[in-house]
Amino acid sequence: MNAARARVGAALLIALCLGGCPHRPGPGGPLQRFEDAPALLEAVRQQAQKLERLRVRGTVLARREGQRVKARFAAATALPARLRFETESFFDQPVSILVTDGMEFSLWDMEGGRFFVGRATPANLSRAIPVFLDGPEVVGLLRGEPPLIAFAESRLELEPDGAHYLVWLSNSRERERLRIDGRELKLLEVEVEVEGRRLYLLKLAAWEDRPRLPREISFEMPSQKLELTLKVRQAEAAEPFAEDVFRLAAPPGVPVENLDAP
């Protein structure tokens, strides 16, 4: 009987202690509260832009109409919109070098023996990085900053799990949906539609710290039958870059094509 009473007493003591312990939030901490979508998007942008300079290395896999191409890449970026993106084959053969300051771009296509220049538009940049984003959007995306349409209306919802936000942006032609981790302000998904048809779907996964960025970015563009997956294998916050890192001139004898020439 004494042993039974002792067990009951111990159980009551444990229950009282547990009941008095403060609630500990789950992984990621408590939900961060926002009154509207613009406030949340600005907080995500500020978080992403804490990483001013960045070096990353990894692999990129593209699938289009039954074809599959895989390559290594190395990128250097500096805010607000400077990017150097180099690709090479798995046989260590250089494939291309792209450089942009966010306004203009240069691309050396080593396999084709051509050199392109022009504005840093989605169409021009897609010759090297087949995603429908402009220069600043590509630089931001590597840090987890979302590309945004020019929206006239916005809406913010909290998912039933109480941990994720859904953001809806729209104008007369476009609609954008974003899914964001409401505790750590991590962008997880972006979908853009134009006149009711999906333009692209972005998914950001495998977020890690030091530096804080997604280690996997997937991109789908149905109209081009394109699927692309970028995986970051190495990442580091960088010291200030030499200015020539973001400059690229055509090698002697390589013809230059201006993609914006009339």
Query: 143 and 131 in contact (C-beta within 8 Å)?
Result: no
- Dist CA 94 CA 83 (whole Å): 18
What tens digit of pLDDT does each residue of 31-80 get? 999 999 999 999 999 999 999 999 999 999 999 988 999 999 999 999 99
| Residue 232 falls inside a structural domain | yes
pLDDT for the residue 89: 87
pLDDT at position 29 is: 76
- The per-residue pLDDT of the chain, averaged, comes to 89
Q: What is the CATH number of the domain that holds 239?
A: 2.50.20.10
How many structural domains compose the chain? 1
Range of the domain at 126: 41-258
Task: Please name the helix (run of DSSP H) or strand (run of DSSP E) that holds residue 147, with its range, or none.
Answer: none
HSE of 156 in the Cβ direction (CA atoms, 13 Å)?
Answer: 15
Position 12 scores a pLDDT of 33
pLDDT at 261: 85
Residue 11 backbone zone (phi > 0: left; psi -120 to 50: alpha; other: beta): alpha
Band of the pLDDT at 28, cuts 50, 70, 90?
Answer: low
How many CB atoms lie under 10 A from the CB of residue 158?
14
The pLDDT score that the predictor gives to residue 13 is 34
Residue 19 has pLDDT above 80, yes or no: no
Residue 79 included in any domain? yes
Query: What CA–CA distance (Å, rounded) separates 17 from 1?
Result: 24
Q: Does 14 score more than 70 pLDDT?
A: no
Question: Do the domain assignments include residue 13?
Answer: no
Question: For residue range 139-172, what is the model confidence (pLDDT) as tens digits?
Answer: 999 999 999 999 999 999 999 999 999 999 999 9
Report yes or no on 186 lying in a domain: yes
- Would you say residue 215 lies in a domain? yes
Residue of 136, 137, 133 whose CA lies nearest to 124: 133
* Mean pLDDT, range 234-255, rounded to an integer: 94
pLDDT at 129 over 80: yes
Q: Is residue 60 a part of any domain in this protein?
A: yes
- Asked if pLDDT for residue 189 goes beyond 70, the answer is yes
Predicted confidence at residue 132, as pLDDT, reads 83
Beta-bridge partners for 78:
53, 82
Residue 178 is assigned to a structural domain of this protein: yes
What is the signed CA dihedral for 235, 236, 239, 243, rounded to 10 degrees?
0
On the question of pLDDT at 219 being above 90, the answer is: yes
Does pLDDT of 25 surpass 90? no
Distance CA 156, CA 145 (A): 17
Q: Is residue 202 part of a domain?
A: yes
pLDDT (tens digit per residue) in 110-127: 989 999 999 999 888 888
Q: How many CA atoms lie within 13 A of 82 on its CB side?
A: 17
Quick one: average pLDDT of 242-257? Answer: 94
Residue 27: per-residue pLDDT: 57
